[in-house]
Amino acid sequence: MQLSWSSRICTVYLAAAFLPMTFAAAAPSSSRNVTVDDTLGSADGSAKVMYSPPDAWKTGQNCTDCEVKTVDKNSALNGTWHEADYNVSKQSSITATLLFEGSAVYAYGMVPHDGSNITSNIYLSFILDDTDVGAFVRTPDGNGTTEYNVLLYSKDGLSSDKHNLTMVVGNPRFGGPQSVALLDYFVFTQSNSSSTSDAMGLSPGLVPTASVLAFSVVIPIIGFLLGA
């Protein structure tokens, strides 16, 4: 049994009704993650890690006198990392700070399991917007390996404003233990400034809505059916 042309048009409208859902699913995310390498910074150069004091930090990939000897360069992001060794009798404070604008932040590093000396212990504390927010403590098990991409600290649900996160090696305020730190990279989440029109290569005034797109599909088909 053949459908009348009016029935065919109705069928096409029903099919076109699903187009809005298709285009909605293709809409870009409203946020993005920005990776900040310990040495290279972010890809666009807008974010860098600040080290204090500078001479307390060593670039691991170029280091000949670092405490940790088991790091595989190919396992580090971009083949780079920073090492700091804290000793309460020598330093007052060793820090790495990231300034960022976003709603979440994550710090990643390496955990060595050398165990050959006490400096292989890891004692890190974190300060977010001048407030103590947590610590990362790890004692090596002595198996001689190194863990990579270890999440040292994370925080989400922040206001989408400017923030600062500082990683403190050891804990000088409390006479903390000796500690090593292997910092690889930070990641922060920020709102995506790219609009849907930018993503589609269209000017803002020419962004087609899903209903307009559906209608533009229906009209040619109706013409075909009427002529059939």
Cis peptide before 53 (omega within 30 of 0): yes
Residue 150, token pair as written in the block: 């270890």
Tell me what pLDDT residue 143 has.
80
- Asked whether the beta carbons of 149 and 184 are under 8 A apart, the reply is yes
Nearest CA among 107, 90, 89 for reference residue 55: 90
35-84 pLDDT, tens digit per residue, is 999 999 999 999 999 999 999 999 999 888 888 888 999 999 999 999 99
- Asked whether the beta carbons of 139 and 113 are under 8 A apart, the reply is no
Q: Look up tokens 């920005």; give the residue.
A: 34
72-97 pLDDT, tens digit per residue, is 999 999 999 999 999 887 767 899 99
Percent of the chain with pLDDT over 70: 66
Pairing of strands 49-52, 122-128: unpaired
Quick one: average pLDDT of 194-199? 28
SS3 at position 5? helix
H helices of the chain, where?
5-16, 19-25, 196-200, 210-227
- Asked whether the beta carbons of 49 and 97 are under 8 A apart, the reply is yes
101-116 pLDDT, tens digit per residue, is 999 999 999 999 875 5
Cβ neighbors of 52 (< 8 A, separation 6 or more) are: 93, 94, 95, 96, 97
Q: Look up tokens 């804990």; give the residue.
A: 171
